[in-house]
Structure 1
Amino acid sequence: MALVKAGIVVLDCAEPEKLAEFYKGLLDTEETDANANLVEITGAAGTRLAIRRDANATPPSWPRPESSLQAHLEFLVEDLDEAERRIVGLGGRALETRGAHGPLEERQYADPAGHSFTLRLRPSTAPKQE
């Protein structure tokens, strides 16, 4: 029997209520728990995320090395372009969305507080065509 039943990713930022709005919009969910210093949300697919108040939080600088990657999230999506439009509409920003030869299979973004995350195409379940 597993000792740990579930995990949750916790992001620190100065204004957790505002950052929770971004992730609630991205994950199509509502908050499941909140207090003065923490907002927890659970996405429809079971993704659990909490945003904790830290008045001294500084955004990660990824991809620059100083205070680089403090945490990294990956979300599987079926349409990168549609997901990108939603992220920008919610206040996120692109870090790296296209390579020299067209769309990548994954794209990097930052949420409104500066935490980086990746959108990755969900692997196709269709048989490979030769």
Structure 2
Amino acid sequence: MTVLKTSVLVLDCADPEPLARFYAELLGAGAGPAIGDGDGELILVTGGTGVVLLGIRRDANHLPPSWPAPEDSQQTHLRILVAAEDLDEAEREAVSLGARPLAAEDDGTRLDDRTTLRRFSDPAGHAFVLAAVREDPAAHGADG
């Protein structure tokens, strides 16, 4: 019998409350109170149905990733799926909340790829993309 499990991507940062609010607003979700998880303070960002979308953990020694510096790898990023016709509006929303656009040429991507993908760093420096999909993004579930 398989033990029931789930997983969540956890982003480390020096100050988790503002970053949790950033992602909660960007994803139309809620940010719970900080909890101790045995590995520091953790805030869970949850969707309307209670599904955990993301975790934000306090790390007092956190240094922001240096990507898209050419000599560094991206390591990991959050991919947020959005309907293709809403991509421009999603970009405006992300920037208004504090996201920093990353120029496509920073990572060698062709500029015409902006029609389906927009790259950003969140207020703590983590990479994320807004990716256009043809179908309803909710149909993709939590694998985004």
TM-score interval for Structure 1 and Structure 2 normalised by the shorter chain: 0.7 to 0.9
SS in 1 for 2:65: coil
Q: Give the secondary-structure state (helix, strand or coil) at the position aligned to 1:50.
A: strand
Paired letter, 1:22:
F
The structure with the greater share of residues assigned to strand is: 1
SS, match of residue 26 in structure 1? helix
Q: Does 2:69 align with 1:64?
A: yes
Partner Cα distance (2:44, 2:112) in 1? 39
Map of 2:139 onto structure 1: none
Q: Which moved more, 1:50-59 or 1:30-39?
A: 30-39
Give % identity. 47
**Aligned residue type for 1:111:** D
Distance 1:21 1:67 in 2: 28
Q: Secondary structure at the match of 1:21?
A: helix
Aligned pairs for 1:51-90 within 5 A: 51-65=56-70, 68-78=73-83, 79-90=86-97
Q: Which residue of 1 aligns with 2:140?
A: none
The 3 A distance-change label for structure 1 pair 102 and 48 is closer
Q: TM-score of the superposition, structure 2-length normalised?
A: 0.74
Q: Say if 2:44 and 2:52, in contact at 8 Å, map to a contact too.
A: no
Matches within 5 A, 1:43-58: 43-44=47-48, 46=51, 48-58=53-63
8 A Cα contact 1:95 1:109, kept in partner: yes
Once superposed, what is the RMSD of the aligned Cα atoms?
2.5
* 2:126 paired residue number: 115
Report the Cα offset of residue 3 of structure 1. 4.0
In the TM superposition, residue 22 of structure 1 has moved relative to its aligned partner by 0.4
What is the letter of the counterpart of residue 82 of structure 2?
V
Aligned length: 125
TM-score, normalisation: structure 1: 0.81
Q: Is the contact between residue 30 and residue 48 of structure 2 (CA under 8 Å) also seen in structure 1? A: no
Give 1 or 2: higher helix fraction.
Answer: 2
Shift of 1:101: 4.1
Q: Quote the offset at 1:47 in angstroms.
A: 5.2
On the 8 A contact 2:104/2:111 being kept in 1, the answer is no
Structure 2: state its 5+ residue gaps: 137-144
Deviations 1:10-45 (A, max 9, x none): 000000001111001111111234236211111237
Partner SS, residue 24 of structure 2: helix
